[in-house]
Amino acid sequence: MAGSNFVYLYPNSVEEARRMDAEYAKAGRTSDEVKLWRESFRENIRCKEAIEKAISRDFDGMHLKEGCARSVVQEFGFKRVQFVLSNTLQEKDWDGRFGSSNLHWAKATFIPPDEAHNAQFCVNSHPAVLDGFVRFFRREVQALDLFEPKHCMPNSSELDFQGKVLVMKLEVLAEQYWKPDYQLWYAHDGFGCGPHAIGRSIRCTCLTDGEMTRWNRSDFIGAIQEEILPDWAQKKLQELQSAEHSRMMQPGQMEMR
User: Which is nearest to 110 in space by CA: 79, 132, 133?
Assistant: 79
Q: Decide: 68 and 58 in contact? Cβ < 8 Å.
A: yes
For residues 207 and 205, give the distance between their C-alpha atoms in angstroms, rounded to a whole number: 6
Q: For residue range 82-121, what is the model confidence (pLDDT) as tens digits? A: 999 999 999 999 999 999 999 999 998 999 999 899 999 9
- 69-79 exposure pattern, b = at least 16 Cβ within 10 A, e = fewer: bbebbebbbbb
Q: Work out the mean pLDDT of the chain and round it to a whole number.
A: 92
Note the Cα 195 to chain centre separation in Å: 21
For residues 143 and 88, give the distance between their C-alpha atoms in angstroms, rounded to a whole number: 23
Q: For residue range 18-41, what is the model confidence (pLDDT) as tens digits? A: 999 999 999 999 899 999 999 999
pLDDT of residue 250: 66
pLDDT of residue 2: 42
**What are the CA-CA distances from residue 255 to residues 153, 204, 236 (Å)?**
28, 21, 22
Angle between helices 70-91 and 33-58 (to 10 degrees): 110
pLDDT of residue 124: 97
Instruction: State pTM to two decimals.
Output: 0.82
Give the confidence band of 198 by pLDDT, cuts at 50, 70, 90: confident
